[in-house]
Amino acid sequence: MKTLIDLIALFAGVFLAFVVQHALPPMDDLQGARVVLVPLVFCYAAIVLPFPAMLAAAFYTGFFSDLFYLHIVGGAVEIPMGISIIYYVILGCLASRFRSGPETAKMWMFSVLSGAGTCTFLLLQFLMITWHRGGWEWAGAAAWRILAPGLMAALIAPLFHLVVSHIDNLIPDFSRMRRASRR
Amino acid sequence: MNRLNIALVVGLVAVGIYLSTLSSESVGSMKASFMSLLSPFLRTGTAMQQNIGSFGQRLKTLDELDVENTRLKIENRVLRTENSLMRETQAENQRLRLALDFRARSSHKLVAARIISRDSSTWWSTIRINRGFEDGVEADQPVVTDGGLVGKTTTVSKNEAIVVLVTDESCRIGAKIEGTREQGIVTGLRIQENTSEGMLQMNFLSKNAEITSGMDVLTAGVAHGSFPPGILIGKVREFHRRALDGQAFVEPAMDLSIIEDVFVLVGKK
């Protein structure tokens, strides 16, 4: 029951993250870098949820990401559908390894994974575009647009963890209560 | 990791690979449905952002509004007069064309649209407009303003369309430089250093072309292309001679980060 509530909360959280990051304008002082929140929300779910539920979350987040970032010009798709699903499955498998650790370690790993996961996602997009359009182009602005959202995600993550884990503790865990009453 | 988990991971990866093989038409229609679903939420988010951003600007005094209203009324009268004169000229032009047995020049029907949100991705320059296939908008139709070319439509849903801007590298336009016989391909830069301004590049120009900064760059209107001829794209800023060809850097005709209303050329009248 608790897992189901967590999963539904994640679905709503990812949806909200898309809406919020869509509304936030790019930061001109950081070379047009944008706030990317979805990998952060997913990493939290991957650390908290059991493995099969994490995979459901990876599918949902990846599918939404693919549709959200789908860019079709002249009948050509720049980043094929399904790439984000595979990416979030890999990220989720990594994150779920820290599920059983102590709470403080979990928070720091969540922070590191959110930052690294955001940067890797943006780098993956850049590499896919480069592969599709051909020719290698690089500029300082590209590095900023990859690293700055990751850094922001890593900085937001501890606060996000504190707030969401506090809310999570308020939700009753019926399975735990049932086990306790049986004892 | 137990066997069931491994099987689930393999299954999901297989689904991902299957989705990557779908045709652009299939994923395009999925994206259009997704846009319709997400649209009310995205519009609310963007409206909130705009309201917060323009809170100070909207606090105008009654005197300021009165002055603005008077100015707009005068402008409206001038435009009405110009419009009626142009209608007469158009009618005269039509008569003369008929007299000379000229083939009628194609003129396009315009659909006015409002920008509902700007690009939300790091690597693409796009906008969303509040017109979709219900209004006659289709994919690959040019989007313009009175200042020049804005871009072209890509994914079109029922009441919305995504427009890829001229500053995006994936928007390729056959173009010519006014006053010369030079033609080339205009595209945006992959990494725009200045996101608000944007810069374009025009490739495949002749190495020996006499191109100077300030020259107008117009759409060439090549056969089977999306863009009709003669729409202003921008002005040449620099011209470089390379080993085999010439390359011009073009400044867009208008600041694409501040436009609010556009027109979609939806076909011939």
pLDDT-derived band at A174, boundaries 50, 70, 90: low
- Give the range among A25-29, A125-129, A167-171, B217-221 with minimum mean pLDDT: A167-171
Asked if A132 contacts A78 with a C-beta cutoff of 8 angstroms, the reply is yes
Domain ranges of chain B: 28-105, 106-268
The encoded tokens of residue A111 equal 């922070």
CA distance A176 to chain B (A): 24
Architecture of domain B106-268: Beta Barrel (2.40)
Output B17 or A179, whichever has higher pLDDT: B17
- For all residues of chain A together, what is the average pLDDT? 87
- For all residues of chain B together, what is the average pLDDT? 84
Domain ranges of chain A: 2-13+36-172
CA distance B160 to chain A (A): 14
By the CB < 8 Å criterion, does B13 face chain A?
yes
By the CB < 8 Å criterion, does A12 face chain B?
no
In angstroms, what CA-CA distances link B168 with A60, B124, B201, B240? 29, 6, 11, 21
Contact B24 A25 (CB under 8 A): no
Encode pLDDT of A35-71 as tens digits: 999 999 999 999 988 999 999 999 999 999 999 888 8
Interface of A with B in 25-64 (CB under 8 A): 25-26, 28, 31-34, 36, 51-52, 55, 58-59, 62-63
Phi and psi torsions of B202, nearest 5°: -120, 115
By the CB < 8 Å criterion, does A127 face chain B?
no
Interface size, chain A vs chain B, as Cβ–Cβ contacts under 8 Å: 149
Contact B195 A28 (CB under 8 A): yes
Per-residue model confidence (pLDDT) at position A92: 93
Q: What is the mean pLDDT of the segment spanning A160-167?
A: 88
Encode pLDDT of A14-30 as tens digits: 999 988 888 888 888 88
Per-residue model confidence (pLDDT) at position B230: 86
Q: Which residues of A fall within a CB distance of 8 Å from B154?
A: 71-73
d(CA B118, CA A26): 10
Residue of A nearest to B224 (CA): A74
Contact B13 A89 (CB under 8 A): yes
CA atoms within 13 A on the CB side of B224: 1
Per-residue model confidence (pLDDT) at position B58: 62
Interface of B with A in 79-118 (CB under 8 A): 117-118
Per-residue model confidence (pLDDT) at position A134: 83
Q: Name the stretches of chain B with pLDDT < 50.
A: none
Q: What is the mean pLDDT of the segment spanning A93-98?
A: 88
CA distance B79 to chain A (A): 35
User: Where are any strands of DSSP class E within B49-199?
Assistant: 108-118, 126-129, 142-145, 148-156, 161-165, 173-177, 183-188
Per-residue model confidence (pLDDT) at position B106: 53
Residue of A nearest to B31 (CA): A67
d(CA A168, CA A179): 19
Contact B126 A22 (CB under 8 A): no
DSSP run (H or E) holding B202: strand B200-205
CB atoms within 10 A of CB A19: 18
Q: Which residues of B fall within a CB distance of 8 Å from A19?
A: 38, 41-42, 44-45
How much is the ipTM here?
0.81
Asked if B144 contacts B231 with a C-beta cutoff of 8 angstroms, the reply is yes
Contact B27 A33 (CB under 8 A): no
Q: Could you tell me how far CA A47 lies from the centroid of its own chain?
A: 11
Q: Residue type for B82, please?
A: E
> B210: burial class by Cβ within 10 Å (0-12, 13-18, 19+)?
exposed
d(CA B242, CA B244): 6
The encoded tokens of residue A151 equal 């850094």
Give the pTM.
0.82
CA distance A181 to chain B (A): 30
By the CB < 8 Å criterion, does A74 face chain B?
yes
Alpha carbon distance, N-terminus to C-terminus of chain A: 20
d(CA A127, CA A39): 18
Q: What is the mean pLDDT of the segment spanning A136-158?
A: 91
